[in-house]
Amino acid sequence: MKPNVAELIDKIEKLCNDGHQIESVSVLNSSTQEQEGPSSHTIGQHRTRRPFSVDEVEALVRTIELLGVGRWREVNLRTFSDADHMTLGDLKDKLNTLVHTTRIPHERRRGELIPQELLDRVLIAHTLG
């Protein structure tokens, strides 16, 4: 039988984190603050790049599985409520890139649930590199 989500997530945490586990699906400002710095997200014509951490991707996919595709507003509130630098568009864009980088052929109409296949592939991708 193929490994379930819980196992994959657990494996990821052990490989990527140094012990900072997660409890629920919510954003955690772990040590993925990158090299930007506190004042990086300041003004400017455009926001600076902000790579999603593995935890953020995990939280995003899990929440989408729960609510369905297209409910970015809800996803944002449920999972990235405190992440001010996260916009609804960022969430939408992230799902698009994930689906494409993992090469998952799948119609993502509004309200449709993201298959666990996505989470699996995403986590595996992050695990193997």
Partner DNA sequence: TTTAGGG
Partner DNA sequence: CCCTAAA
Among 1, 18, 23, 49, binds DNA (CB under 7 A): 49
* Residues numbered 6-45 forming contacts with DNA, rule: CB under 7 A: none
Burial class, 19, CB count within 10 angstroms (exposed 0-12 / middle 13-18 / buried 19+): exposed
Among 14, 21, 36, 92, binds DNA (CB under 7 A): 92
Among 55, 56, 90, 120, binds DNA (CB under 7 A): 90
Among 25, 88, 124, 125, binds DNA (CB under 7 A): 88
Burial class, 17, CB count within 10 angstroms (exposed 0-12 / middle 13-18 / buried 19+): middle
Query: Is residue 93 part of the contact set for DNA (CB under 7 A)?
Result: yes
Measured distance CA(120)–CA(112) in Å, rounded: 18
Query: Is residue 100 part of the contact set for DNA (CB under 7 A)?
Result: no
Burial class, 55, CB count within 10 angstroms (exposed 0-12 / middle 13-18 / buried 19+): buried
Which residues contribute to the site for DNA (CB under 7 A)?
A: 46-47, 49-50, 69-74, 85, 87-90, 92-93, 110
